């Protein structure tokens, strides 16, 4: 596991999510998210993960797989009304995945 990769992935994913959420929130009405949030949220999450994969120089397919897995526990937080807490949990899990992935890739070489 790579601790520098953990911190880099966590900070980049957090920044990307905040920037995209802010842009979408400013550009779209609240009703959009009530109707389409179930697809806009995961799609945005995956887009941010793809951007993060580029910055941390990890294979995009493997990073997206980790992002999908990390996003699953956050669904519970969304269902109980703690959306942003779920996002923070997902970011931490995602960063752990990236750190673990970096360690696995370094072991192969």
Q: Which domain holds residue 54?
A: 3-108
CA angle, 80 then 92 then 103, to 5° = 145
pLDDT class for 81, splitting at 50, 70, 90? confident
What integer pLDDT is reported at residue 44 of this predicted model? 96
108 has a pLDDT exceeding 80: no
CA distance 82 to 59: 31
Mean pLDDT of the chain: 94
Give the chain's domain count.
1
Cβ-based burial of 35 (10 A; exposed 0-12, middle 13-18, buried ≥19): exposed
CA distance 98 to 32: 32
The pLDDT tens digits of the residues spanning 17-30 come to: 999 999 999 999 99
């Amino acid at each position: 596991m790579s601790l520098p990769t953990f911190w880099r992935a966590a900070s980049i994913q957090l920044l990307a999510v905040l920037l995209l959420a802010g842009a979408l929130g400013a550009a779209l009405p609240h009703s959009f998210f009530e109707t389409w949030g179930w697809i806009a949220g995961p799609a945005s999450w995956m887009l941010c993960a793809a951007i993060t994969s580029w910055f941390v120089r990890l294979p995009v397919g493997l990073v997206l797989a980790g992002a999908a897995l990390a996003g699953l526990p956050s669904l519970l937080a969304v269902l109980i009304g703690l959306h942003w807490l779920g996002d923070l949990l997902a970011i931490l899990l995602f960063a752990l995945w990236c750190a673990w992935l970096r360690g696995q890739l370094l072991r192969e070489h």
